[in-house]
Amino acid sequence: MLLISCPNCGPRDETEFHYGGQAHVAYPENPDALTDRQWAEYLFYRDNTKGAFAERWVHSTGCRQWFNMLRDTVSYDIQAIYKMGEPRPDANTTAATTSEGATK
Amino acid sequence: MSADHLPEHPDFLWRNPEPKSSYDAVIVGGGGHGLATAYFLAKNHGMTNIAVLEKGWLAGGNMARNTTIIRSNYLWDESAAIYEHALKLWEILPEELEYDFLFSQRGVMNLAHTLGDVRESVRRVGANKLNGVDAEWLDPQQVKELCPILNISDNIRYPVMGATYQPRAGIAKHDHVAWAFARKCDELGVDIIQNCEVTGFLKDGNRVVGVQTNQGTIHTEKVGLAAAGHSSVLAEMAGFRLPIQSHPLQALVSELHEPVHPTVVMSNHVHVYVSQAHKGELVMGAGVDSYNGYGQRGSFHVIEHQMAAGVELFPIFARAHVLRTWGGIVDTTMDASPIIGTTPVENMFVNCGWGTGGFKGTPAAGLTFAHTIATGTPHELNKPFSLERFETGALIDEHGAAAVAH
Amino acid sequence: MAETATPANPETLRAARRSPASHLAPTFESGSVAGTVALKEIPFQTMVGVRVDRASDAGARLASVTGGLPAACGEVSGDERATTLWLGPDEFLVVAPESAHDSLGGDLVRALVEALGDDPGQVVDLSANRTTFELSGIRARDVLEKGCSLDLHPRAFRTGTALATEIGNIPAMLLKTGEDSFRIFPRASFADFLGRWLLDGMREFASPEVP
């Protein structure tokens, strides 16, 4: 069970939330202008990242608000929670520093 | 029942060779699908200078983690054709592979709990019959006769309103299936290389010419990807995308019990699927965890929900114990149908997207994927399951028959 | 708002209604343990859903009707007329006694509709959406904790706060009205389920404690 910190309500059980898939996928500005391939990309293709993944969640049982979350899809560690519309923060800065530190 | 009744293993299964520097074809993924593909490449297409690369141990991924259900009662013509072909292969494979992997055609029931379920199920029975798939619609009393431990009373939240039933469906011992394929592959000269993780692909322009692994570079003319939950990772290495999402899918077993459950019962609506393995464990599957995950584990509430469903349908299970739970990584597509075919990279082929139902498809995946790799063009059976269908819109929506919601 | 039905005599209306857990009333009574834990339904409270930007003029006008709009998760505002629970950053639930409802001679809904005016927002009569359970007694928290994973310890969950959460796997609002008393607002269709869940949780306290 994930313990997710809702930006409005604080830490709550995963069961209070619903998953919304990959974050930062914008509706095409001009869908009519897309090729079938591009439309298929928008409709059916989503990143399936192994590692830090930006995704959307909604606190359905609580404040009913959507938010973004950066989560590691292997360890399931939640690395960041940020507002809808905000850019994706840097992934796992702690781990990056550690590995850099090791090589120096 | 005891382990004494299980057939004995053959004395020898397979070699553990060092990888050669080049092969005619390399299959990435040493699970059921990869092994079946190698087997049919060798047997049907005479390609024996091939290797199966497995990053862990043989058949240790979803092949070891599924609930071993085999059936072919899918809705659409394209699906019925490929899954029914798989079922016919299951019926002859123990003899062909000279290995009794305990394929038990004890029938599979898919329960209906709502009027919507009933309509969908009856429609599917009709469609199955038109496609030559054995299927029946059972009323609750007939359900009870086939599986006396099922609770068909109307004092539960979602009473059993009937079921589809496929008598030829059943279960098989999954590890033995993998070993049966592996042993025959080895006999035919296929190199099965374990602990060999693919880390990249060698390309000449847009044509794949080799794979990089933690055991060195292997040159090859053709690459077949059969890596289920990790397909997207491999595709990314090769430079293309796949329309799949990897989710954790959990299952569990109880301790051993006397035989109480004569068939296989699946329920989409209250969501659990149950059979009793040959040794006596109750084997139960859950739904997928909602989030993307590569962790081979999911959240506990999913198990809790599944147990609640299990006990409601089978009150006798209330005093059984959960012995082990585990998770696999399933590669789901938007239409709950697999992808078997060519890729944007020349000489690279993909078999993925089987999602929550890959085990039953193993022989047909192997047969059609081998044909696709050997000839460069799809077999009649996998033609509709191309990557292109997401562009043309010719989707094969099997969410109703797929049994595990995602 | 168009009138869709002939206004009925309030007493006729009252007599015709059944609250979502009315069939459980005798069971609630017999399942309550005097001095330990008690469960009852408080039927037919007036409830109005309000959506508005708190910082707007409309927000200020609505706040003057309700006696304030809570600013953050957990907060509750109100006066003797109504209690207002925070549901989300721009969503609130106004709870008032039955008599506040316009059909029974009150004017709460009309007052809120008028306060919003034509500004962006929403005022919806949700009186039939949820019912109210009152769970009280020294064991009330123990009962709740069987089906609610929030930290209900008094240092974390204070009297006069309310949270939207899950109780017994169903969504519900939980309002702490006193040191040992809670009000739970489940949706009407879940009232039977949650009522029985709570009763089941209360059962052990009817027996002498095992030392």
Interface residue of C54, C73, C170, C174 to substitute, partner A, most A CBs within 10 Å = C73
CA distance A92 to A78: 9
CA B40 to CA B388: how far, in whole Å?
25
| SS3 (DSSP) at B253 | strand
- Interface test mutation site (partner B, options A50, A60, A78, max chain B beta carbons within 10 A): A50
Per the listing, tokens 């030392």 go with C211
Instruction: Find all residues with CB under 8 Å of B145, minimum gap 6, and list them.
Output: none
Q: How far apart are CA B354 and CA B365, in angstroms?
A: 9
Is residue A49 less than 8 Å (CB to CB) from chain B? yes
Is A62 in Cβ contact with C164 (below 8 Å)? yes
Instruction: Give B260: exposed, middle or buried? Use CB within 10 Å, 0-12, 13-18, 19+.
Output: middle
Q: How many CB atoms lie within 10 A of CB B70?
A: 27
Give CA angle at B224 (B222, B225), nearest 5°.
145
Confidence of residue A62 (pLDDT cuts 50, 70, 90): very high
Residues of A in contact with B292 (CB under 8 A): 21, 48-49, 53, 55, 73
The fraction of chain B above a pLDDT of 90, given in percent, is 93
Stretch B402-406: mean pLDDT, rounded? 68
Which residue in chain C is spatially nearest to A64 when comparing CA positions? C88
Element (H, E) at B347: none
A60 CA: distance to closest CA in chain C (Å): 9
The answer to whether B252 and B326 are in contact (CB under 8 A) is: yes
Cβ distance of B230 and A2 shorter than 8 Å: no
For residue B400, name the pLDDT band (cuts at 50, 70, 90).
Answer: confident
Helix residue spans in C47-161 (DSSP H): 57-66, 108-116, 140-145
pLDDT, position A95: 41
- Shortest CA distance to B93 belongs to which of B15, B204, B172? B172
- CA B398-B400-B402 angle, 5° bins: 60
Q: Is B199 on the interface with A (CB under 8 A)?
A: no
ipTM surpasses 0.95: no
Q: Across residues C45-68, what is the average pLDDT?
A: 97
A26: tokens are 């914008």
Å from A65 to nearest chain C CA? 7
Whether A70 shows a pLDDT value over 90: the answer reads yes
pTM over 0.90: yes
Tokens representing C118 are 């034509």
pLDDT digits (tens, 9 = 90+) for C8-30: 677 887 888 899 999 999 999 99
Joined tokens for residue C2: 């168009």
Ordered alpha helix ranges (H), B131-217: 140-146, 174-187
Pairing of strands B22-28, B216-225: parallel
Task: Give CA separation, B47 vs B38, B40, B367, C204, in Å.
Answer: 8, 9, 13, 70
Q: How far from C83 is each of C100, C117, C186, CA to CA, in Å? A: 12, 21, 17
Say how far apart CA B386 and CA B342 lie, in whole Å: 7
Residues of A (3-62) whose Cβ lies below 8 Å from C? 8-10, 12-13, 15-16, 60-62
How many Cβ pairs within 8 Å bridge chains A and C?
37
pLDDT for residue B155: 87
Residues of B within 8 A of A50 (CB-CB) are 230, 232-233, 246, 294
Torsion angle in degrees (nearest 10) through CA of B326, B332, B337, B338 = -80
Question: Is the minimum CB–CB distance between C88 and chain A shorter than 8 Å?
Answer: yes
pLDDT tens figures, B305-339: 999 999 999 999 999 999 999 999 999 999 999 99
Q: Does C151 touch chain A (CB under 8 A)?
A: no
CA B241 to chain CA centroid, Å, is 22
Q: How far is CA B74 from the centre of its chain?
A: 14
Q: For residue B112, give the 3-state DSSP assignment.
A: strand
- B184-224 residue pLDDT tens: 999 999 999 999 999 999 999 999 999 999 999 999 999 99
Task: Reduce the DSSP state of residue B234 to 3 states and report it.
Answer: helix
CB contact under 8 A, B230 and A49: no
Has residue A93 got a pLDDT over 70?
A: no
Nearest-angstrom CA–CA distance, A59 and A81: 13
Q: What is the pLDDT of residues B104-147, one digit of tens each?
A: 999 999 999 999 999 999 999 999 999 999 999 999 999 999 99
DSSP category for residue C6: P
B166 at interface of A, judged by CB pairs closer than 8 A: no
When CB atoms are compared, the residue of A14, A39, A75 closest to B295 is A75
Cα C123–Cα C124–Cα C127 angle in degrees, nearest 5: 135
Separation in Å, CA of A73 to nearest CA in chain B: 5
Are the beta carbons of C181 and C152 closer than 8 angstroms? no
pLDDT of residue A97: 35
| Residues 6 or more apart whose Cβ sits within 8 Å of residue C194 | C133, C167, C168, C170, C172, C184, C186
3 state DSSP class of B314: coil
Q: Where are the beta strands (DSSP E) in A1-104?
A: 3-6, 10-13, 18-22, 52-58, 66-72, 78-82
CA-nearest of A91, A66, A84, A74 to A24 is A84
Element spanning A99, H or E: helix A93-103
CA-to-CA distance for C162 and C165, rounded, in angstroms? Answer: 10
Residue B252 predicted with pLDDT over 50: yes
Kindly state the average pLDDT of the residues B264-273.
Answer: 93
